[in-house]
Structure 1
Amino acid sequence: MRALYAAVLLLTSAASLVVEIVAGRMLAPYVGMSLYTWTAVIAVVLAGLSLGNGLGGVWSRDDRATASGRLALILAAAALTTAAAVPLIRAVAPWVEGLGLGVVGRIGLMTLILFLPPSLFAGMAAPMLTRLAMAARPDRPGATLGIMYAMGSAGGIAGTLLAGYVFISWIGTIGTLLAVAAVYALCALPFAFMARRAAPRRTALAGATTGLLAGALGLWTHTAGALAPACTVESDYYCIRTADFSADSGRPSTLMVLDHMVHGINDRDDPALLYAPYVALTDRLARVRLGLIGPEAPPVRAFFVGGGAYTLPRAWAATLPEAEIVVAEVDPAVTRAARDHAWFDPASIARILHGDARRALRDWPVDRPFDIIVGDAFHDFSAPPHLSTQEFARLIRARLAEGGLYLMNVVDDAHDPRFLLALVRTWRTVFPTVEVWADREQLAGSGRITYLMLAADAPTPVAALTGAMVGDPQDPRVGLRWQPPALAARVAADGDLILTDDLAPVDRLLAPVANAGG
């Protein structure tokens, strides 16, 4: 019996940690994947386990038959509430979205509704199993207690490793949650059998009720179409989705979403059509700065921090045949998705480095500098902190050729861009010129927009760039530079924070944007 109790504790502890890891990925298509997501998930799961531990201790009994019946019910409830998260998220997400909460509020409420119940029931099992194990060997309480604690910890470690390295990659979030529900149900069976011998009627009634609830849940899941995956591809890093954009563009085109954010829109027939304003501005500004306009454009060596849909590398490969283009994309599945669903030909560019961009740049030969480096990496709407710091700026400058430039897309608030201002202040400690550009139409709005930060040795000779709107030549697209004196005044008034590898509070600086739900 002690072996059974220890094995069930190992399995339920592993299952509860699998749910914690899966929860973040499951929420990503609806609220993004950020520090706020993981903070909410960890806090809610720990709260559920802690509350469950307390309630389970109150419910603990030495009487094996009574305790077995309660354990069977608790584990069945854990199975049902875990499986219920699959259809429930599709019903809860639109409702929470309609409440008008900020990102943090939406993340917290969805996590609470979906993952507190399964964590609560999983937490209740541990003290009850431990009490039964100690009652089975009353002569060795200390050893028994130590073994049960060790099994719980070992289960947590195993669940974390299996979720991160095996389950999500091989069977996806839906398959993983259903597998966890099955584990809870299987763990409930021996306790239901033991309880049946002592109270057959009560056990039969509880079993019939559980069966009816499971049947209703299965019907709801099927009716809601909840078993259909939310992702086109579910990789080790992202929920990757592609969608037809033709209805908006009037041409065969597709967009790619990583977790919760669009990372590129590709046109099938003309790679040079750039639908997103910030991508078009990046292209226009780079061409003006590097003299890439006209048939006599010089050869250029370019490095892209992040691939996404490979929209701009694809455009440059088609229009600048002499360019040497290198892309660092951390997720090979993103490259495959762009190839399979967004008409990207990996052979059209020089090199694709699957790994962290900072490491790739650090290992790049110093004697082969780049004319331009483009930063286009995001976690949801925030930039990876290690790609924002003073140390990274120094690495960028060391890998740029004379007269080269760095362009970085920055998502921030239209009127109070605290992260952008800290970024400008930081990069000015390394580069003589740091400019901020934005699309005029976006600047006229509110909420969050995408800025373009430029770092170089010399300023851009113009203060505005005009380019025809893709698909509508009568609607010119204009990029504006933040006037240097006004930008300097805002940066000075904002404070003195310099982003470093030791302190780069990107999420704190972007908290107003997240809370505004822009």
Structure 2
Amino acid sequence: MKYSLELTAFACGAIIMILELVGSRILAPYVGTSIVIWTSLIGVVLGSLSTGYWVGGLVADRHPSKKVLSLVALLASVAVSLTALFADKILHLLQENIKDIQSLALASTFLLFTPSSILLGMVSPYTVKLKVQNLGSSGITVGQLYAISTVGSIFGTFLSGFYLIPLFGSRNILFVLSACLAVISLILYFSAKRLAAATLLPLAFCILGITQPTNAGIIDIDTQYNRVRIFTDPDRNGRDRVLLQTELQSIQSAMYKDDPHDLALEYTKFFKLGKHLNPAMKDSLMIGGGAYSFPKFYLKNYPDARMDAVEIDSGLTSLARDFFFLDQSDRLAIFHEDGRVFLNKSSKKYDAIFIDAFSSISVPFHLTTKETVGRLYNVLSDKGVVLVNLIGSVEGSHGRLIRAEYKTYKSAFPQVHIFPVYDPYYGRAVQNIILLAAKSDEIPDFNSEDEEISRFLSHRWTRPIPDDVPILTDDHAPVEQYVFSD
């Protein structure tokens, strides 16, 4: 095939970027989507590619043959397919044995993506060696091949980010990449006449891999922003629930099968304090829709109120409609955009704002900062309140994010309180914590005749909160350091 080396350079450049982007989705349920995982992924892949460049150059000088390059592509195909087949098992094992999130991210990335990245890195120097005919034309030949490879990387980046990941599962994409590498191997090895028959093997392998069954009873879907798992599991009382996960450490949304509008997670029930603290609540904003558990409850129980819900991932909204009984309502307006972007341009006034956009290992820093808090203050009505779901402790090293958020909200709001959801007495307990900020100077009413509301109010933290962390700002918000500190 006349342009087999150019095709190889282009395809491998694309596959490297697709592999890296898909890798982030494979790792996300185990280590999150914070800067920690991107640092690990980018660093390990770059290190592996540099190793591949070095080794590839050495091998190319000693064995300058298309058949050897074909073997490299074939081995890369095998490495990618093994990642697709065993990634979840390896990640489960690592998660059970490595508790430090940075070490887990590095170990996971190294084991899953180092072999394939090294082999893909070997391709560039090998194609150069085979393509260069004389030193007089080496400059333009090297430049052309690197340009072709880089164009392939650009193509792979846009293809995976805009189309492949939202439309197909991460595992399926890896099998397709494996098949593509196998085809490249065959193109390099066989003559054109034998190529058509030879490509049937990787095609069959690809179909076999894609059709392998996943865990029974689990729906595993990739959206544009998340890898989502949906499954059923009863609560401790045996009441059946449908659960949604975007990371394995926690449940992001839940719904009771026998009552889709009931609140199945304890922390979401604390959002009922919004109505107690501002009885005139009519217009509310929710940042972080997920499966829309609280918006559904809100619409059913507050028939005179309306809500704007901001969820960046339209895929989650579609899943909420398909699996969590989210119905159309003229009292619920859904905006698919970033919460901070929405706040920056909003001129509407809200009586209550509910924020449920943080998880135990993924914290969008730009929603934690003084600038965001200032925008929240500005879009609240005079009696308005903000309720934020956070995860951490009040005291100890695991409470640094909680204390930083508390201090940040105190810089703008006259009244700020925190409510540990499960254990209101032990300050070092890591749990859901509801932060309440009130715009009014008036002391909130922390008493209620309603038994459930009274129980929630009794969880208010009244002991001193250590002042040992700075206010979070857009310029400096080390949320990953706070979340993952020991």
Fold match (TM-score > 0.5): yes
Q: Deviations over 1:165-219 (max 9, x none)?
A: 121122221221111112211111132237xx9xxxxxxxxx9xxx8x9999998
Partner of 2:478: 505
Partner of 1:235: 223
Give, in whole Å, the separation in 2 of the partners of 1:414 and 1:431: 19
Letter paired with 2:406: V
1:390 is matched with which residue: 364, 370, 381? 370
Structure 2 segments unaligned to the other structure (5+ residues): none
Letter paired with 2:256: D
Report the CA distance shift for 1:433/1:94 in structure 2 as closer, same or farther (over 3 A).
same
2:400 is matched with which residue: 418, 423, 428? 418
1:188 match: secondary structure: helix
1:482 is matched with which residue: 461, 466, 470? 461
Report the CA distance shift for 1:94/1:408 in structure 2 as closer, same or farther (over 3 A).
same
CA contact (8 A) 2:51 2:118 kept: yes
Q: Deviations over 1:491-513 (max 9, x none)?
A: 2xx04x2211122121122121x
Report the CA distance shift for 1:79/1:468 in structure 2 as closer, same or farther (over 3 A).
same
Q: Deviations over 1:13-72 (max 9, x none)?
A: 111111001001012233332222222211121121111111001111387xx5212101
Partner of 2:446: 462
Partner of 2:78: 80
Partner of 1:280: 269
CA contact (8 A) 2:244 2:254 kept: yes
CA contact (8 A) 1:90 1:226 kept: no
Q: Deviations over 1:356-401 (max 9, x none)?
A: 1222233333xx4111001111266333111111111111111111
Residue 349 of structure 1, CA deviation: 3.5
Residue 269 of structure 1, CA deviation: 4.1
Is residue 256 from structure 1 mapped to residue 256 from structure 2 by the alignment? Answer: no
Give, in whole Å, the separation in 2 of the partners of 1:445 and 1:481: 12
Q: Deviations over 1:435-486 (max 9, x none)?
A: 11112437649663111111113433328998559xxxxxx77752222x61
Partner of 1:473: none
Partner of 2:171: 174
Is residue 432 from structure 1 mapped to residue 414 from structure 2 by the alignment? Answer: yes
Give, in whole Å, the separation in 2 of the partners of 1:465 and 1:11: 67
Residue 158 of structure 1, CA deviation: 1.3
Letter paired with 1:53: Y
1:441 match: secondary structure: coil
13-22 vs 259-268, which deviates more?
259-268
Is residue 338 from structure 1 mapped to residue 336 from structure 2 by the alignment? Answer: no
Give, in whole Å, the separation in 2 of the partners of 1:420 and 1:504: 13
CA contact (8 A) 2:81 2:175 kept: yes
Give, in whole Å, the separation in 2 of the partners of 1:244 and 1:39: 34
Residue 272 of structure 1, CA deviation: 5.5
2:230 match: secondary structure: strand
257-266 vs 50-59, which deviates more?
257-266
Report the CA distance shift for 1:40/1:73 in structure 2 as closer, same or farther (over 3 A).
same
Structure 1 segments unaligned to the other structure (5+ residues): 198-206, 292-297, 470-475
CA contact (8 A) 2:100 2:484 kept: no
Give, in whole Å, the separation in 1 of the partners of 2:363 and 2:217: 27
453-462 vs 416-425, which deviates more?
453-462
* Within-5 A mapping of 1:9-88: 9-61=9-61, 66-88=64-86
Q: Deviations over 1:96-127 (max 9, x none)?
A: 13314322222222221111111010001110
CA contact (8 A) 2:172 2:210 kept: no
Is residue 300 from structure 1 mapped to residue 282 from structure 2 by the alignment? Answer: yes
Give, in whole Å, the separation in 1 of the partners of 2:449 and 2:117: 54
* Within-5 A mapping of 1:64-463: 66-135=64-133, 137-193=134-190, 225=213, 231-246=219-234, 248-260=236-248, 261-270=250-259, 273-283=262-272, 285-291=273-279, 298=280, 300-347=282-329, 349-365=331-347, 368-378=348-358, 381-413=361-393, 415-416=395-396, 417-441=399-423, 444=426, 448-456=430-438, 457-458=440-441, 459-462=443-446
How much is the aligned-residue C-alpha RMSD, in angstroms?
3.2
Letter paired with 2:375: L
* TM norm structure 1: 0.83
Letter paired with 2:407: R
CA contact (8 A) 2:44 2:114 kept: yes
Partner of 1:201: none
Letter paired with 1:372: A
2:172 match: secondary structure: helix
Give, in whole Å, the separation in 1 of the partners of 2:17 and 2:165: 13
Letter paired with 1:480: H
CA contact (8 A) 2:395 2:427 kept: no
CA contact (8 A) 1:60 1:128 kept: yes
Give, in whole Å, the separation in 2 of the partners of 1:357 and 1:407: 15
* TM norm structure 2: 0.88
Report the CA distance shift for 1:333/1:467 in structure 2 as closer, same or farther (over 3 A).
farther
1:243 match: secondary structure: strand
Report the CA distance shift for 1:505/1:111 in structure 2 as closer, same or farther (over 3 A).
same
Identity value in percent: 26
Give, in whole Å, the separation in 1 of the partners of 2:172 and 2:46: 23
1:415 match: secondary structure: coil
Residue 305 of structure 1, CA deviation: 0.7
Give, in whole Å, the separation in 1 of the partners of 2:55 and 2:324: 52
Residue 408 of structure 1, CA deviation: 0.8
Give, in whole Å, the separation in 2 of the partners of 1:270 and 1:243: 17
Q: Deviations over 1:74-100 (max 9, x none)?
A: 100000100111111132123213314
CA contact (8 A) 1:302 1:325 kept: yes
CA contact (8 A) 1:252 1:269 kept: yes
CA contact (8 A) 1:439 1:479 kept: no
Give, in whole Å, the separation in 1 of the partners of 2:206 and 2:303: 56
Residue 257 of structure 1, CA deviation: 1.4
Give, in whole Å, the separation in 2 of the partners of 1:222 and 1:172: 9
Report the CA distance shift for 1:428/1:286 in structure 2 as closer, same or farther (over 3 A).
same
Give, in whole Å, the separation in 2 of the partners of 1:399 and 1:134: 64
Report the CA distance shift for 1:140/1:227 in structure 2 as closer, same or farther (over 3 A).
farther
CA contact (8 A) 2:168 2:222 kept: no
Give, in whole Å, the separation in 2 of the partners of 1:452 and 1:259: 20
Residue 351 of structure 1, CA deviation: 0.9
